[in-house]
């Protein structure tokens, strides 16, 4: 699991949505006539509506009835588009202090206007800001529709196709029927937990960051007030989804820790380590301490008071399907999560077919490798042979060079996550932090601090997912090989997480001491489990399954858990729609592309060749990546 960027990547009008953890949505497919080019602007006859394109044709062709342009006209269009993308990217970064801080160590040097960046958490949306957002989206979509894609360079066409997908998703999500559908207080990723998480990972790199911390902390009360008011409007509209007891308990934990918080001590220790005069350090430490005491801690009491005030009023204890337009809302959410514009029915059918095929594969593995299966499910699985996270990363960093394109800078840093993030309670073993664009590309991982069996196969898989050849390698490749900052940071969820699952499973082949039966079992059971949970997610949030319906679904497949666990799973899936699809659906799409390449190339297939084609365009929608895979296949037949 990578640590998500904390802002909505595109068209950010206000920081109001920064900490909203559920994805927004709307209804059905977007009407492309709003943003599409006129027929005369189509790049070639291979255009498809989901940002597909023919990567071999970056120029116009008269035999396709395309406009013939002079080189000067093409250059002018390329310059105009470059200016547009740059403006949109920078405005989205400037709209969020967190985005600015995550992506840039020196934002001014990158052309970010810090006078446009408000240091703080912002405020929750209002009816007025929703309306302003729609006006802005419409204006951007209209300007985007004016570009002739066929005049653009190959890299710009990738930007164009990624931006087209984002525009479509944002238009879906911003439909006025879905105002106030964002959930700020839906555990486990409720507002209180997210504030702690974001501050726990906030890096103080230089003096300005030290100054900003106090301002950031002092902005929290206003932010909390706005989110509570937002939740009250939701409750009046019948759109609230929370668990009052869980949120209150989480806030009380923060209050009980008080000034002994590791969040505060980490801030103070980091400031002490800066190259500043002692007088300056003391000034910043005092400001941070005061803001923590006077703004941060009281904000959690505000949340408790707000939850108590709303307790007893409307609160949805089912999935999004229970909301008036919940099914349509969820559908757009799923499009965002899968990196497609496929309907829920199409995604559901795809997952059902894959689940059936994987189940057949599991039965085959059970019959061929009974001892390995028995050992695996009786906790007798072999260990990886490694005794530290660093050993795993160093070994994989070398091993991946045999089947991945080389990336020169694979530096990394690992440390324990802040205990107050409660990773164990969230069942998170580790996460990856997205690095700054303008930094040293040192990849960072945070691990659950209470202790794990480092030698276990599960730990090896987790480190391979978050580290090498997973997220750490993927982002190092993107930052080293993609020129466009927009494309570097697009990060389509299902491509990023799907690739990490693909990488973790391929990394099993780096362990020659582990029997083949174990490897095959894990390579099939992992996507099978993701598919099952994704189908349950769709069932709850689109088809309106009750907890009993979900429990029956899992029991029919062969899962066995008691009612308490069943409720925990149900609550997680209903409150975090689309959480599993990026992993499962994303991996399955990549696996399909690889199988196609293997089938068509036979002995000419190489893992290195496939992985190079897979990575080359960046973490962009699947329709773009598939074009690169098709080109790889054609060029190597």
pLDDT in tens, 114-147: 999 999 999 999 999 999 999 999 999 999 999 9
Alpha-carbon Rg for the chain in angstroms: 24
Residue 68, pLDDT score: 74
Decide if 310 contacts 244 (C-beta within 8 A): yes
Q: Please write the tens of the pLDDT for every residue from 51-89.
A: 332 322 333 333 345 567 799 999 999 999 999 999 999
Written as six digits, the tokens of 305 are 């008071």
Q: What distance in Å separates the CA atoms of residue 485 and residue 102, rounded to the nearest whole number?
A: 13
Q: What are the contacts of 553-562 at 24+ separation with CB within 8 A?
A: 557/359, 557/532, 559/532
Q: What distance in Å separates the CA atoms of residue 2 and residue 281, rounded to the nearest whole number?
A: 32
Which of 152, 142, 157, 180 is closest to 76 using CA atoms?
152
Q: Please write the tens of the pLDDT for every residue from 29-52.
A: 222 222 222 223 333 333 333 333
Decide if 218 contacts 610 (C-beta within 8 A): no
Q: Please write the tens of the pLDDT for every residue from 294-343.
A: 999 999 999 999 999 999 999 999 999 999 999 999 999 999 999 999 99
Residue 67, pLDDT score: 62
Question: Who contacts 98 (Cβ-Cβ below 8 Å, separation ≥6)?
Answer: 5, 6, 7, 15, 18, 198
Which of 463, 530, 476, 532 is closest to 503 using CA atoms?
463
The percent helix, strand, coil of the chain (3-state, each to 5) is 65, 5, 35
- The residue-averaged pLDDT of 492-510 equals 97
Q: Please write the tens of the pLDDT for every residue from 141-178.
A: 999 999 999 999 999 999 999 999 999 999 998 999 99
Residue 42, pLDDT score: 34
Residue 529 class from Cβ within 10 Å (0-12 exposed, 13-18 middle, 19+ buried)?
Answer: middle
Q: 400-417: buried (b, 16+ CB within 10 Å) or exposed (e) per residue?
A: beebbbebeebebebeeb
Residue 451, pLDDT score: 64
**Phi/psi at 48 (nearest 5 deg)?**
-130, 160
Question: Bridge partners of 52?
Answer: 48
Q: What distance in Å separates the CA atoms of residue 545 and residue 550, rounded to the nearest whole number?
A: 6
- The residue-averaged pLDDT of 491-496 equals 96
Residue 5 in this model has a pLDDT that exceeds 80: no
Decide if 2 contacts 432 (C-beta within 8 A): yes
């Amino acid at each position: 699991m990578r640590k998500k960027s904390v802002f909505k990547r595109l068209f950010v009008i206000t920081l109001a949505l920064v900490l909203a953890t559920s994805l927004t949505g709307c209804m059905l497919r977007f009407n492309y006539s709003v943003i599409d080019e006129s027929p005369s602007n189509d790049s070639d006859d291979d255009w498809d509506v989901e940002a597909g394109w023919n990567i071999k044709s970056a120029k116009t062709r008269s035999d396709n009835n395309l406009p013939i342009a002079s080189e000067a006209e093409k250059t002018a269009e390329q310059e105009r588009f470059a200016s547009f993308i740059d403006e949109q990217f920078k405005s989205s970064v400037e709209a969020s202090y967190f985005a600015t801080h995550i992506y840039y160590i020196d934002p001014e040097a990158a052309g970010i206007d810090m006078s446009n960046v408000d240091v703080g958490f912002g405020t929750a949306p209002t009816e007025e800001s929703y309306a302003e957002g729609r006006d802005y989206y419409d204006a951007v979509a209209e300007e985007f529709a004016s570009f002739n894609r066929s005049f653009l360079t190959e890299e710009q066409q990738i930007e164009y196709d990624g931006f087209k997908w984002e525009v479509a998703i944002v238009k879906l999500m911003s439909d006025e029927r879905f105002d106030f559908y964002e959930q700020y207080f839906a555990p486990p990723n409720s507002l209180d937990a997210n504030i702690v998480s974001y501050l726990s990972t906030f890096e103080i790199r230089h003096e300005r960051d030290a100054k900003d911390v106090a301002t950031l902390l002092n902005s929290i009360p206003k932010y909390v007030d706005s989110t509570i008011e937002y939740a009250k409007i939701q409750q009046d509209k019948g759109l609230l989804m929370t668990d009052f007891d869980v949120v209150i308990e989480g806030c009380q934990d923060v209050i009980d820790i008080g000034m002994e918080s590791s969040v505060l001590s980490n801030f103070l220790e980091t400031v002490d380590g800066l190259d500043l005069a002692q007088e300056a350090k003391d000034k910043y430490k005092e400001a941070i301490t005061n803001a923590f005491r006077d703004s941060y801690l009281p904000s959690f009491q505000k949340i408790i008071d707000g939850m108590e005030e709303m307790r007893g009023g409307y609160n949805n204890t089912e999935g999004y399907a229970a909301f008036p337009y919940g099914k349509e809302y969820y559908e757009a959410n799923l499009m965002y999560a899968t990196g497609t514009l496929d309907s829920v029915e199409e995604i559901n059918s795809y997952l059902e077919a894959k689940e059936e095929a994987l189940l057949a594969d599991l039965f085959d593995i059970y019959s061929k490798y009974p001892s390995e299966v028995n050992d695996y499910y009786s906790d007798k699985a072999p260990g990886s042979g490694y005794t530290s996270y660093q050993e795993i990363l160093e070994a994989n960093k070398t091993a991946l060079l045999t089947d991945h394109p080389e990336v020169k800078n694979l530096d990394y840093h690992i440390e324990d996550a802040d205990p107050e993030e409660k990773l164990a309670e969230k069942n998170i073993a580790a996460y990856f932090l997205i690095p700054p664009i303008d930094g040293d590309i040192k990849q960072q991982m945070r691990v659950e601090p209470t202790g794990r069996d480092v030698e276990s196969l599960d730990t090896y898989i987790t480190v391979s997912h978050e580290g090498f050849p997973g997220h750490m390698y993927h982002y190092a490749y993107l930052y080293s090989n993609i020129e466009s900052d927009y494309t570097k940071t697009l990060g389509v969820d299902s491509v990023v997480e799907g690739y990490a699952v693909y990488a973790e499973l391929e990394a099993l082949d780096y362990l020659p001491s582990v029997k083949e039966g174990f490897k095959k079992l894990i390579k099939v059971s992992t996507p099978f489990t993701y598919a099952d949970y994704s189908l349950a997610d769709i069932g709850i949030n689109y088809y309106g399954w009750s907890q009993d319906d979900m429990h029956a679904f899992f029991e029919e497949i062969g899962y066995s858990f008691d009612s308490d666990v069943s409720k925990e799973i149900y609550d997680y899936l209903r409150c975090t729609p689309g959480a599993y699809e990026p992993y499962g659906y994303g991996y399955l799409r990549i696996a399909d592309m690889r199988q196609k390449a293997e089938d068509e190339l036979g002995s000419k297939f190489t893992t290195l060749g496939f992985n190079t084609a897979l990575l080359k365009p960046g973490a962009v929608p699947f329709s773009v990546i598939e074009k690169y895979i098709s080109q790889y296949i054609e060029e190597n037949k």
